[in-house]
A and B are shown apart, each in its own frame.
Chain A
């Protein structure tokens, strides 16, 4: 116990650094996947058959395979198979590859949630807008969007919380996120080796962060409660 208290400041500092990388991946994924998901959703709903076919195949592949495999393929395939390493070396390259994998993966999940949300808005809403002389984009932004957001907040919240934990998968390509930082103390780092507790302790970070997110998303849900 005394030993743990002694190691605590060093471990916390290292875990904080790792957690910053975790958060970076988390936010970059959301910023990328929210709009890309919408593009994919419109693609899969397109009346232009080839486009909807291709997007559906993409969603099938991405949702049908483990994110970990996608990470490995996206990171290693260009360099090892095509002999054109596009990601660049070091932590920056790993982060870029991880971001692309996560954005693509989450955009596909989001797209299906968006699709459900858009199709869940009664067709009469769009017709009412059309009859009132609104353009398609006015109808989307002024009428459909908010109703869709209200519908998708609960399922998206679920995905967001899963994403927090999924960022740990980036460990597989040695991205220096919080799991990587905790594990380092098993192999030996900054004079501490063979310590497994830092790895266990990372759970506290996830738990707190998810607690904060749950609260914020709950508030958003409540805020949209003013209409039905």
Chain B
């Protein structure tokens, strides 16, 4: 059974149709990269998955559980949405780290707030805190930020900030980690370090959806590529096939702009 099933998602803003009948599925441990020109709906799709936007139509299932069904108001209750969001993690283009917290605190904050809601929190406060801190430390080590744990975001480079943001998203152990153009706000020489950690995550079989303009990366890291154009999935499939033998003329046009450099 796929870990994620997206069925017939539609979303309009005012009168502009941004997503028109989007369907795809994703197996556990797989990586899908979504490519396409700006305005094709890639970001909106990720935002729908993370409940930052509410689709007008469609169904969203994770591990077979219906998280969202536009036809069923019960699936849209605020309290429920909070819990459902935790199936997904989202790494933003502009990092959105919390500036008043250190790298460690950024990674720990959400988990600590969740732990506080546990009934036995008061009794085991110290252990819980230590466990969360230990886990955050491991994550930051994994991101290559062992010596940056106590720095504030403004003291870090863009690439370091984005790696903290990835650690922060991983701290909640989401089933599916989403990336919204994770390197688009970075200086070219800093994209490599971010792509490297994402690649490592892929090697560890982290289920990921990656929206990116880094075509070589999209091809190499993914098990599946989706090409979006004007709110629809125009083409999807094996990366090699989509990149080397695109079926659609529009895909070929889009890709040629990148290969011509």
Contacts and interface: CB of A to CB of B under 8 A. Distances in A.
B99 A228 contact: yes
Interface in A142-163: 142-143, 146-147, 150
A135 to B, nearest CB: 7
B234 interface: no
A134 B96 CA distance: 15
A150 B100 CA distance: 10
B109 A132 contact: yes
Nearest to B88: A131
A130 B169 CA distance: 12
Given A124-B94, A146-B100, A228-B99, A130 B85 contact: yes
B154 A132 contact: no
Contacts of B83: 133
B52 A134 contact: no
Given A127-B52, A131-B50, A132-B168, A138 B113 contact: yes
A128 interface: yes
The number of chain B residues touching the other chain, given as a range, is 20 to 34
Most interface-central of A122, A128, A147, A150 (chain B CB within 10 A) = A128
B89 interface: yes
A48 interface: no
B168 to A, nearest CB: 7
A131 B113 contact: no
Contact of A132 (B94, B100, B152, B172): B172
A125 interface: yes
Contacts of B100: 143, 146-147, 150, 226-227
Contacts of B51: 130
Interface in B21-64: 50-52
Contact of B92 (A124, A135, A150, A227): A124
A227 B89 contact: no
Given A133-B172, A134-B110, A227-B154, A125 B86 contact: no
A142 B86 contact: no
A132 B96 contact: no
B258 interface: no
Interface in A111-135: 122, 124-125, 127-135
Interface of B: 50-52, 82-83, 85-86, 88-90, 92, 94, 96-100, 109-110, 113-114, 152-154, 168-169, 172
Which 6 A-B pairs rank lowest in CB-CB distance, beginning with the nearest? A132-B110, A128-B96, A124-B96, A228-B154, A227-B99, A131-B90
Given A142-B109, A228-B154, 16 more contacts: A122-B94, A127-B52, A127-B92, A128-B96, A128-B97, A128-B98, A130-B50, A130-B85, A131-B50, A132-B168, A133-B82, A133-B110, A135-B82, A146-B100, A147-B100, A227-B152
